[in-house]
Chains A and B, each alone.
Chain A
Amino acid sequence: MTGSPRLRVLVAKPGLDGHDRGAKIIARALRDAGVEVIYTGLHQTPEMIAEAAIQEDVDAIGLSILSGAHNTLFPAIMRLMREKGGDEIAIFGGGIIPEEDIATLKQAGVREIFTPGATTDEIVEWVRTNIHPRG
């Protein structure tokens, strides 16, 4: 990894709920693993998240959703990223998301979804393997 640019990941919390325990733990674990992490804070709209991802020029967006609104929020953010020319920014996520919805979301282009019980090591490892600095 020496010499290569650091990975930049936006950890984002869309929706109206305040469940930020997971988002904060993931943000901190990625940071401890050497990833540059930007955390949006709570209650972000899809527009705010897409805007932040472009502005911060990140390599990936990690979305944490525990409100049941994943089928609305993931597609909305992906559409905005396409419109803003950020399609190559990878989108992954985690939260309370039923199995059958995971399949649909992955088909729609979400790269990976982690559910409760995933360890921080698994998530860090996945990011290291699958997300690359866009140069």
Chain B
Amino acid sequence: MSAQPKPAPVASEPPRRFSTISDMEIQECYTAADLAGRDPAADIGRPGEFPYTRGVYPTMHRGRPWTMRQFAGFGTPRDTNERFKFLLAQGQTGLSTAFDMPTLMGYDADHERSLGEVGREGTAVSTIEDMADLFDGIALADVTTSMTVNCSASIILAMYFAIAERRGIPMSALGGTIQNDMLKEFIAQKEWISPPVPSVRVIVDMIEFCTTHAPRFHPVSISGYHIREAGSTAVQEVAFTLADGLGYVEAAVARGLAVDDFAPRLSFFFNLHNDFLEEIAKLRAARRLWARLMRDRFGAKSPRSLMLRTHAQTAGCSLTAQQPVNNVVRVAIQALAGVLGGVQSLHTNSMDETLALPSENAAMVALRTQQIIAEESGVTNTVDPLGGSWAIEALTNRIEAEAEDYIQQIDRMGGIVRAIELGFPQKEIAEAAYHFQQQFDRREKVMVGVNRYQTNDKPTIDILRIHAEVESTQVARVRAFKAARDQARVASRLADVRQACRDGTNLMPLLIAAVKDGVTLGEVCDVYRDEFGIYRDPAWL
């Protein structure tokens, strides 16, 4: 042993504070005293029972594994269709669609604002034929499909229903999720068309329509993922996500819907960041707080209205371009936190995602990570194995209490829409992001390979490149489609949509009719821009 070199001297003072990645201070040791005064039966209970701290189902992943749902989308709809088929062949159990920026912002591929962005960050869908290509040969009644799209979600969902009908599949047979969470767009992801109030109106139209006609579809996925990516803490992620959820429930109830008719179809989407224990506690706290809020604020009675069912994705912002293979390890730890935290559906990021969209190899390793957790690690053999751990329960209590404080602050402002108009969640997140950056710059928070253990090697993994022809092909396709339509019918369908924007008629049936007659995504969004106005970034620093 004496031949071994001496350990390298420690470069800086050891940290005197121990805190999570959200900078929540952590004690040296937790004991029963940290749960003093709480009632474990009421706080923790049993899985599948109120308040669902331990999970929404009695048997959780023992009864049914989570859905392995890898987000995919790039290039033309045909390119993405091939990737979908590849992922299904590899054992993936659900689909998840990424659209490109023009689609997400409501511009057709041939719009001048789409230049340079077509098919780059996702796949390009301007017309019903693009949607038909995207899902060509995929059994829509058998697979559940998630679509990540927000301000243009109403049109995308109309196209999805329309292509299913073309294949003889009724809306009532379709299962899936459309993200459609505009409140978090204003807070974090920042893809929008119109201001918050009309944006919420369109969402309530979709909730109302799906409740009656597509009861297997989740019309909103209330998303904390992007809030966290924008730099929030774990507490802020829970608080602002649940506050958004309350906003939708309030708006739907104000429309006259009965809470137990639609609330069972609300689902959630959380981030899985690096801090293992904090993330597990976060998911447990979110479930408990949501169950209580739904019961106490809205008098929801159906257990399904009280259950926070969630998809989760490992944190994109935690991945590093430096030493990219390290990302495989990060993703495995994050995914394990999600599984132990009781998620219903999971996306694991690919190691190359700070460099480009995932290559096929990287996407396969990411999927295999989930399969290893599910089928090799043994963690699914018992439900909520960490329940009752003093540390986990103390953190769960703390995250719940601090998130509830935020929700009460938002209540005092007059609700989440008003809070967003005031920039409250946006500024809180920017503050937290800056705080983390300063801690990172001082090396109080470590990113391996970035501010510690750096090497000079350049990444050597193959990345997916989107070729320039994708854009020109797609532009030509959209132009040809537009030229071949019955223009009078298009004009008449658009006039119907415009009228419904004004008089409050539910937009969904009109949108389905419109896309069938060839109205494009960008054309409907132009009507939204005209009728509802354009939201501009307040550019708060």
Which residue in chain B gives the minimum CB-CB distance to A99?
B458
CB-based contact A18/B354 at 8 Å: no
- A104 at interface, CB cutoff 8 A: no
Q: Do A25 and B191 touch across chains, with their CB atoms under 8 A apart?
A: no
CB of A108 within 8 Å of the partner chain: no
Measured between C-beta atoms, what is the minimum distance from A87 to chain B in Å? 22
Query: Can you name the residue of chain B whose Cβ is closest to the Cβ of A96?
Result: B354
**Apart from A16-B104, A42-B539, A116-B321: 20 A-B pairs, beta carbons within 8 A:** A15-B117, A16-B113, A16-B114, A17-B121, A18-B189, A18-B190, A21-B229, A24-B433, A24-B434, A27-B541, A28-B434, A28-B541, A40-B539, A41-B537, A67-B101, A72-B117, A73-B116, A96-B321, A96-B355, A96-B356
Q: Are B191 and A117 in contact (CB under 8 A)?
A: no
Report which A residues bind B (CB closer than 8 A): 15-21, 24-25, 27-29, 31, 37, 39-43, 45, 67-69, 71-73, 96, 98-99, 115-117, 119-121
Give the number of residues in B that approach A within 8 Å (Cβ atoms).
Answer: 46
User: Would B115 and A25 count as touching, CB distance under 8 A?
Assistant: no
Question: CB-CB < 8 A to B441: which residues of A?
Answer: 119-121
The answer to whether residues A42 and B537 also contact, given A115-B321, A116-B321, A119-B441 and a CB cut-off of 8 A, is yes
Q: How close is B355's CB to chain A, nearest CB, in angstroms?
A: 6
In the assembled complex, the Cα of A116 lies from the Cα of B113 at a distance in Å of 26
User: B190, A68: Cβ atoms under 8 Å?
Assistant: no
When distances are taken between beta carbons in the complex, the residues of chain B under 8 Å from A117 are: 320-322, 447, 450-451
B102 CB–A CB distance under 8 Å: yes
Residues of B within 8 A of A40 (CB): 539
Q: Residue A17 contacts which of B101, B438, B463, B536 (CB distance < 8 angstroms)? A: B101
Residues of chain A within 8 A of B185, CB atoms compared: 18
Question: Could you list 8 A-B pairs, sorted by A, with CB under 8 Å?
Answer: A16-B104, A16-B113, A17-B101, A17-B191, A18-B185, A29-B437, A68-B120, A68-B466
Contacts of B107 in A (CB 8 A): 16
Complex Cα gap A25–B355 (Å): 21
C-alpha spacing A98/B451, complex, angstroms: 20
* Of listed B321, B451, B459, B463, residue having the most chain A CB within 10 A: B321
- Interchain nearest-CB distance for A84 vs B (Å): 19
CA distance A17 to B450 in the complex (A): 25
**Distance from A58 Cβ to chain B, minimum over Cβ atoms (Å):** 16
Closest 3 CB pairs of A and B: A18-B190, A72-B116, A41-B539
Minimum CB–CB distance for B502 against chain A, Å: 26
Q: Are B433 and A41 in contact (CB under 8 A)?
A: no
| B15 at interface, CB cutoff 8 A | no
Contacts of B191 in A (CB 8 A): 16-18
Q: List the B residue with the shortest CB-CB distance to A38.
A: B539
A96, B437: Cα distance in complex, Å: 17
Residue of A18, A25, A28, A121 most packed against chain B (CB within 10 A): A18
* Residue pair A31, B113 in contact (C-beta under 8 Å): no
Q: State whether A21 touches B230 (Cβ < 8 A).
A: yes
Which residues on A sit within 8 Å (CB–CB) of B116?
Answer: 15, 69, 71-73
